[in-house]
Structure 1
């Protein structure tokens, strides 16, 4: 009976011309966190719906169901940016019940194969997030705000973990540390040492800062590769406005100034001063030193 009621809920949507695919995720008892406590989740992927994400809740003969109607573009954005890991879990664990032109089959294959283009961009996104958390954590530590500093540095370490997983060609899962344990044992060991350490909080933060600083330094080129590739397409002196206009940079442009200053500090980019209309005021342009 439950299967019949569920089918009734999504079958009509399958016949709508703008429906790309429908995914069903049923709660088997251990997946309640993935389904947010619902007995089932139905994900309907649409081509340019009125709302980019619409949610409806139903009760089918005492079965609670969440129906998510999602713009396919939001799905693709999530796969690159990684801002909704629950959605990725649904794609991995859910059952395809409707798939026009193998839309979802191709999405699942994209997750499994993780194409190099996706990988490079995702690495730069994680690198900039790690850089942001590291810088904020370091400032908070200097000011003596140890709990907030520790929180930021742990977030930086999580971004480092995701970076390690992506670097090896895998998609970061919810159990990212289990992935890291197999892929990059030295990062996993650092995480374990921090959790089990009997050192004071101040000493643990100091260790985190040193370890993260080393990781950032050693991963500068590969972590910045997506931006480097985008800028290398044109041999010119770049203004920050030019860089912000690059469509592929959209997903991490919130941290672009931090990344640019970091690359200048690392001598990968150099700053050029160009005259403006006003005396003694110059425009800043960026150019590669050796790439």
Structure 2
């Protein structure tokens, strides 16, 4: 059995791509997108027509509406290739505006429903800022499910659990990137691999806390740099993986062991914590890596959204 098939027995595998033609080869259950992945896709000849057709049909309604329509168009195409859910991201420029995030999310859901897609097949992706988490709490109460992204710290995960969001996406690879950059020449790749990887450790701590305290929010490790990070999280609720790494897993016959276990977590001594706005903001501020990576991630998604808008014009 190859590693991808072995992983599917322990974890729900999700494809992290806007390139829906690649998805079928790996038979994931769900798929995730973001502005950077959509930008990458529309620059390929086989997807350029989706942008052209959307602009031609809805261009007179303004940039925001064209963007919503484009994201939904990709989502609908992706849903033809997966049996489960697709994640569609709210404009990252709204990351600090609860009201605007809720409004944009509802518009995206309306467009999907107008195309006959059931609300349960959509996850609205929102950055894990305090404002984003509050928007997600409101959407969840209305039956709109959310995927809280750009998640780098334990406090973000705890606040998402309190908000009863459907799913979180802790970013393994970007945490790894930060610690590797900080260490510079002192970084020992072999010593910091697998279970010792700081990104892997972050996800494991969140997973164990959720399972220990009966928090229903799904944990989906994201943003992987290598196969070792993925195999070290086998057993996580879900893992969203790029096509390149899915191909590596599919090509490997190496044995795969379960690394995360909900029953084992329930026996652990993990204290319960919760946050209000002030304690959340302080905890996030105390975590230099998470503060920097959250800000950087929002800026990067905004930059790619602006590039997409320029292509629309």
- Please identify which structure carries the higher strand content: 1
* Length-normalised TM-score, structure 2: 0.30
* Length-normalised TM-score, structure 1: 0.31
Greater length-normalized contact order (CA 8 Å, ≥ 6 residues apart) = 2
Which of 1 and 2 has greater Rg?
A: 1
